[in-house]
Each structure stands twice: as C-alpha cells, then as structure tokens.
C-alpha cells in the first residue's frame, strides 16, 4: 500500500515536461525496487522476532515506511537502547549542462527520486544521559540479510562491552574458539572467564562450576555486572573474600 500510494503521489506531482524523463523513470524504478527490498527485510525481522530471536529482537512499528528500526538485546529504552537502523537514503544528483556548468537538480520538484538512492545500515546506541553513538555499517548487497546484520551489530556491541571491562581490570581479552573472552584471576588457580552472549547481550561467566559461598558470589557478580559494568571491581573484591572464606 505504501509503495502504491508513493507512486501515485509522485506521478500526480510530476510536471508535464522535464529535461531528463528517462533518467527520472530509471530513478523512480530504482526507488521502487529498494522499497520492495526493505519490505522483504521487514518481513524477515518480524519472523525472526517471533521465532528464533523471540524476546531478543523487537521491530519498531512506529518508524516511517522508508525506515526499518530493530531494537535488540534486553535493553531498557529509558536508559540504553541498541538499534539496527536500515533506511532508504537519497542524495541530490548533479547534472552537467551543455554549457558545462553544474547544477543540483531538485528531484523533489519532479519525481522526488534522486539518482543516488541506496539502503543505508547503521548501528545506533541511544543513552538517556548522553548523545547517540552511531556506527555506520558497510554492507554489500549479498549481506542484506536481517539475521546476518543482527549478529554483526550484536558482535560490535559485545566487543565494545568487553573493551569496557578490559579497561577496568587492565587485562587483555583473548579469543577462545572464535569467542572473545576476558580472563580475570581472582585467587590461586582461579580464573573468571567473562564473555558476552551475542543473542541476549548479557555478560556471562563461562565454565563456572564452583559451588557454596564462592559459587553464590560468582552468580551475584554476573548479575551486578549486567546491571552496572562499573561494579566489576567491587564484585571481584567480594569474590576474593568469598574464596578466602571457602578456603
């Protein structure tokens, strides 16, 4: 319906004559194809949000038809909001006239479709108390798949989260079977392996089989760090204390 309405409005507003009718027709068809492609991506997102990524992916239905906004992870929009934003973007075209002078063609006065139209993909982190963090994502046509884009954006955020933890403890992270892991020693022969679950965005403790007071302290550390990354140092101190009690 959106595509049909857009097409009718553009055709009705088109002046009877124009210097570049074939180019305008090409541009109009180009935007129509991009609109169909965006609708396919929107359908993919809705399907994934109700099946494989149920609860971890949410499609924002309040955006304009030319924009697809996907919120991911268990983020609270009031504090931090992680989004994958896909939109059709336009850039006014410059035409060389016969006298070799360049002029910008105001396509909104004709078909409203510039020659340079493309699908733009961005990762956006919104915070209530600071400016948005926007990271453009270079995407090729064959990579325009919602699940691939979602995983790629989630991996970008996971890397950023681990870098924050890395800066707090002053220890470099390493790769374990393709997974970025931060290993923190908190006692003799005791290492806390921290990673980020790409599907949920939660910081998780890997391979922790300790029980008793120490095990409880590990579970509490995981919860506290997910609520506030900056609490890692105090949580590690509590964990060291629990180890001494257990010994």
CA-CA distance, 184 to 161, in Å (whole number)?
Answer: 15
Which ranges of the chain does DSSP label H, i.e. alpha helix?
A: 2-12, 21-50, 146-169, 212-227, 232-246
Per-residue pLDDT at 45: 94
pTM reported for the whole predicted model: 0.66
- Residue 241, burial from CB neighbour count under 10 angstroms (0-12, 13-18, 19+): middle
> Are 110 and 14 spatial neighbours (Cβ–Cβ below 8 Å)?
yes
Per-residue pLDDT at 39: 92
Per-residue pLDDT at 202: 83
Per-residue pLDDT at 5: 63
> Are 122 and 41 spatial neighbours (Cβ–Cβ below 8 Å)?
no
Per-residue pLDDT at 169: 82
Per-residue pLDDT at 102: 44
Per-residue pLDDT at 206: 83
Main-chain phi, psi angles of 208, to 5 degrees: -95, 110
Per-block mean pLDDT, blocks of 10 residues, the chain (247 long): 58 54 77 89 93 88 90 65 86 53 43 63 79 78 81 84 85 78 79 84 76 77 84 80 52
Residues 6+ positions from 11 with CB-CB distance below 8 Å: 111
- Kindly write down the DSSP assignment for every residue of 163-206, as one continuous string: HHHHHHHT---EEETTEEEEEEEEETTEEEEEEE-TTT--EEEE
Per-residue pLDDT at 226: 83
Main-chain phi, psi angles of 42, to 5 degrees: -65, -40
> Are 167 and 62 spatial neighbours (Cβ–Cβ below 8 Å)?
no
In the numeric block, the tokens 């493309």 are attached to 118
Structure-token pair, residue 60: 């924002």
């Amino acid at each position: 319906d959106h595509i049909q309405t857009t097409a009718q409005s553009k055709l009705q507003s088109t002046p009877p004559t124009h210097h570049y009718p074939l180019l305008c027709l090409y541009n109009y068809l180009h935007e129509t194809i991009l609109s169909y492609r965006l609708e396919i991506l929107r359908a993919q997102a809705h399907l994934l949000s109700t099946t494989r990524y149920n609860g971890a992916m949410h499609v924002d239905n309040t955006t304009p038809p030319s924009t697809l906004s996907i919120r991911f992870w268990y983020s609270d929009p009031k504090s931090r909001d992680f989004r994958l934003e896909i939109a059709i973007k336009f850039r006014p075209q410059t035409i060389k006239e016969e006298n070799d002078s360049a002029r910008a063609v105001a396509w909104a006065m004709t078909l409203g479709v510039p020659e340079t139209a493309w699908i733009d993909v961005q990762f956006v982190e919104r915070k209530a108390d600071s400016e948005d963090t926007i990271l453009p994502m270079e995407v090729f046509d064959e990579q325009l798949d919602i699940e691939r884009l979602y995983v790629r954006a989630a991996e970008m955020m996971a890397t950023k989260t681990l870098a924050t933890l890395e800066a707090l403890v002053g220890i470099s992270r390493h790769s374990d079977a393709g997974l970025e892991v931060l290993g923190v020693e908190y006692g003799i022969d005791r290492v806390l392996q921290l990673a980020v679950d790409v599907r949920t965005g939660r910081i998780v403790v890997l391979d922790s089989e300790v029980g008793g007071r120490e095990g409880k302290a590990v579970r509490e550390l995981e919860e506290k760090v997910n609520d506030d990354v900056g609490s890692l140092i105090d949580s590690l101190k509590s964990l060291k204390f629990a180890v001494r009690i257990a010994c």
